[in-house]
Amino acid sequence: MYTIEEFDKAKTKVMNYIMYKKRTEMEVKNKFYNTIQDDLLCDIIEYIKEARLFKR
């Protein structure tokens, strides 16, 4: 499990990555696979999907 602060910090990293250049879900998974916990990364990806920020 993770805290809200951890979620926000990791989400900011991922959002900066995808806002610099539009990225796909697979690019995000590959980039952050070893640096962010699996459950945390999955939740961030779901958040981004709901906001429709991924490249199609």
User: For position 55, what pLDDT does the model report?
Assistant: 81
Residue 36 falls inside a structural domain: yes
Nearest to 28 by CA among 4, 6, 40: 40
Range of the domain at 10: 4-50
Residue 56 falls inside a structural domain: no
Residue 45 falls inside a structural domain: yes
Residue 33 falls inside a structural domain: yes
Residue 55 falls inside a structural domain: no
Q: Do the beta carbons of residue 20 and residue 28 sit within 8 Å?
A: no
Using one digit for the tens of pLDDT, what is the confidence trace for 10-51? 999 999 999 999 999 999 999 999 999 999 999 999 999 999
Q: What is the DSSP letter of 55?
A: -
Global confidence as pTM? 0.89
Residue 40 falls inside a structural domain: yes
Cα torsion 24, 11, 19, 38 to 10°: value is -20
Q: Count how many domains the chain has.
A: 1
User: For position 33, what pLDDT does the model report?
Assistant: 95
